[in-house]
A and B are shown apart, each in its own frame.
Chain A
Amino acid sequence: DGGITQSPKYLFRKEGQNVTLSCEQNLNHDAMYWYRQDPGQGLRLIYYSQIVNDFQKGDIAEGYSVSREKKESFPLTVTSAQKNPTAFYLCASTPGQGYNSPLHFGNGTRLTVT
């Protein structure tokens, strides 16, 4: 079955450490997205990529970095510059590069930084 795999499901890190969240899709989708979810705030866009080797900042990109070297992979690095990294992170994708298809989501990674 095609889908989006996010790993690990739970991640614990000490403050000051960088951490990379994995996102892999086998849907052959062109566009991929990273969202951050906090209670009561909905989903906020961190980064998105419409095509390999290209990505754009979302609304809350500060303290995060991404790469898109392969179509199926879009890892997110949470750097030590991110002031409040503890959150639930969701990766998503859509076919084509468009905006008229629904997002397909992975099951998320819950990051806790202490």
Chain B
Amino acid sequence: AQSVTQLDSQVPVFEEAPVELRCNYSSSVSVYLFWYVQYPNQGLQLLLKYLSGSTLVESINGFEAEFNKSQTSFHLRKPSVHISDTAEYFCAVSGRSYKYIFGTGTRLKVLA
């Protein structure tokens, strides 16, 4: 069975500081990994994905994540956050079961 762990339920960080949101997964088969962002009372929006190839993937708004197979991790990073990055972030994994498994989410609070 697959599972996803996001250990940090909340991460406060000052504006323009760097941030890392952690994601670890468990799977016995090859996986595809995703990060989504959710603003209040809205659906989830895809931030970035790892399907194959380069282990470092980037989004258009400055986030990046690195797939680390040996550590079964897919941590999300941004070198300098903005107030507008305040949201909840979800890590997800999919595999041959045709199910997408989500972590419990991390609330990023950017402080002025």
Where the two chains meet, the residues of A that have a C-beta atom closer than 8 Å to any C-beta of B are: 4, 6, 9, 31, 33, 35, 40-45, 48, 50, 58, 90, 92, 97-100, 102-108, 110
Contacts and interface: CB of A to CB of B under 8 A. Distances in A.
Nearest to B46: A102
A4 B103 CA distance: 23
B18 to A, nearest CB: 25
Interface in B82-107: 90, 92, 94-105
A105 B46 CA distance: 9
Nearest to B95: A99
Contact of A43 (B32, B49, B90): B90
B94 A107 contact: no
B34 interface: yes
A103 B98 contact: no
